[in-house]
Structure 1
């Protein structure tokens, strides 16, 4: 069996890069909270975000989300086909297609389920937020609904491009 290694379709490259951007607004909002800006919360509602633990959590969550979103780019770049040489033990090895497809597909499914209700943000009570804060935070979180579907589409493109083909 031969593994196909054709270039990623242009739409998949755009979608992969867009994935990193849809995660950015909510991450920047959490970092603003960690830096001490109430970012839409009332004075009382902001209290839980002022502890050192909460601040570390919000920054870590933002960094981890952005790093996970960036992994989508690997599905359209050469480092998603061959691990970079600088990575200990596995550097320079070919990535088996299903080793990328299975986690990416599960991630796409999980993200779609996690963020499906974001469009209805404004229908939920947010007593700890100002009216403006509720509006702004809702807008900043709306792009997250695209994360799962974008990852899913790029994953399908990766699979189609890299699936094993019978040797002639």
Structure 2
């Protein structure tokens, strides 16, 4: 039997269209215009002035409600045709440069200048409260296949027992949870509105990336330079939360760093919650390393029902993308707060570096998994990719 030895064409990049993203961005813009119009009619309902903070924590907090609402109204009205134009943009269009620049301005305004550090705080609180129970359940269910899980569960049980006997866990923890609930009631719907604004920046950012990809030359797929950049960015992103983790761990000692009011103000509930926040940041660091690790592509054997199966790309990219967007949104806010008397804050939470690095790491992971390039899983075990 003859073997066809004729050269075959290499895989090529193909343009991708995202009509759902265009529709979502246009709908978001219309909703933004309607909300801004409501604020102009009823300025008392405006929630982006950060009235709960003694010092401005975002550029938008420096603007009076009516001018800010008017600017958001204009942005929303212009966002509808801009989203449609970006969706139809092709390589060679004369308006390509101005449209991409306009989309970039909208992305920066909504994704960086409007939100503040409050979104990052709420994300950290959610991870601190939900992370430990989820981890314990996974360890307990997977202990049958991986007996090593029993050691981790024993360590968790010992820590809880010591905390209860020392009086750090119990009524102080309940009081701490009540304090969190009271804080949520005080801030009202502001975090939700900030999240909606950030969503607009993410949508327009996605449109810009899609338009840029459509403008790329169609041809053979060359070696992806993003993989080397992605590996470096992953290690940078994984290292960024470590200063915060170390500081939170000192709250368990007689010499707490960065504790408001000093050691006398640290009751059991605050110490426990500080520990949970530190562990949440540490968990984020570990999960970031998964973007370049084998277990980030194939579920470990101790995870029940999923062991040995490929990790869905979205299961890694979507959470990393959300955290990256929230960190980028908090960057300007953290810098402003650092300049207003807390110079250590941006060093403790280096969001201006952490956010972009995590975004690049997630992008490189997505490109590797969707392009079929050899990754950590196939490099470590050729059978793992089958």
TM range, smaller chain:
0.7 to 0.9
Equivalence map 1:85-164=2 (5 Å): 85-125=301-341, 134-135=342-343, 137-138=344-345, 140-141=347-348, 143-163=350-370
Q: Is the 8 A contact 2:241 2:282 kept in 1?
A: yes
- Higher RCO, 1 or 2 (CA under 8 Å, sep at least 6)? 1
Q: Is the 8 A contact 1:33 1:49 kept in 2?
A: no
Q: Is the 8 A contact 1:15 1:150 kept in 2?
A: yes
Runs of 4 or more, structure 1, over 6 Å off, are: none
Structure 2: how far apart are the matches of 1:70 and 1:161? Answer: 20
Q: Secondary structure at the match of 1:9?
A: helix
Q: Secondary structure at the match of 1:163?
A: helix
Change (3 A) 1:72 1:30: same
Name stretches of at least 5 consecutive residues in structure 1 with no aligned partner.
1-5, 126-133
* RMSD, aligned α-carbons: 2.6
Q: Secondary structure at the match of 1:93?
A: coil
Name stretches of at least 5 consecutive residues in structure 2 with no aligned partner.
1-223, 373-386
Q: TM-score under structure 1 normalisation?
A: 0.74
Greater Rg over alpha carbons, structure = 2
Q: TM-score under structure 2 normalisation?
A: 0.35
C-alpha displacement of 1:38: 4.5
C-alpha displacement of 1:58: 0.8
* Greater mean deviation of Cα atoms: 102-111 or 51-60: 102-111
Change (3 A) 1:114 1:139: closer
Task: Render the CA deviation track for 1:30-53: whole Å, top value 9, x for unaligned.
Answer: 2223323243568xx226741011
Change (3 A) 1:51 1:156: same
Aligned to 2:295: 79
C-alpha displacement of 1:142: 5.0
Structure 1: how far apart are the matches of 2:283 and 2:249? Answer: 15
1:10 is the counterpart of 2:228: yes
C-alpha displacement of 1:85: 1.6
C-alpha displacement of 1:71: 0.9
Q: Secondary structure at the match of 2:240?
A: helix
1:66 is the counterpart of 2:288: no
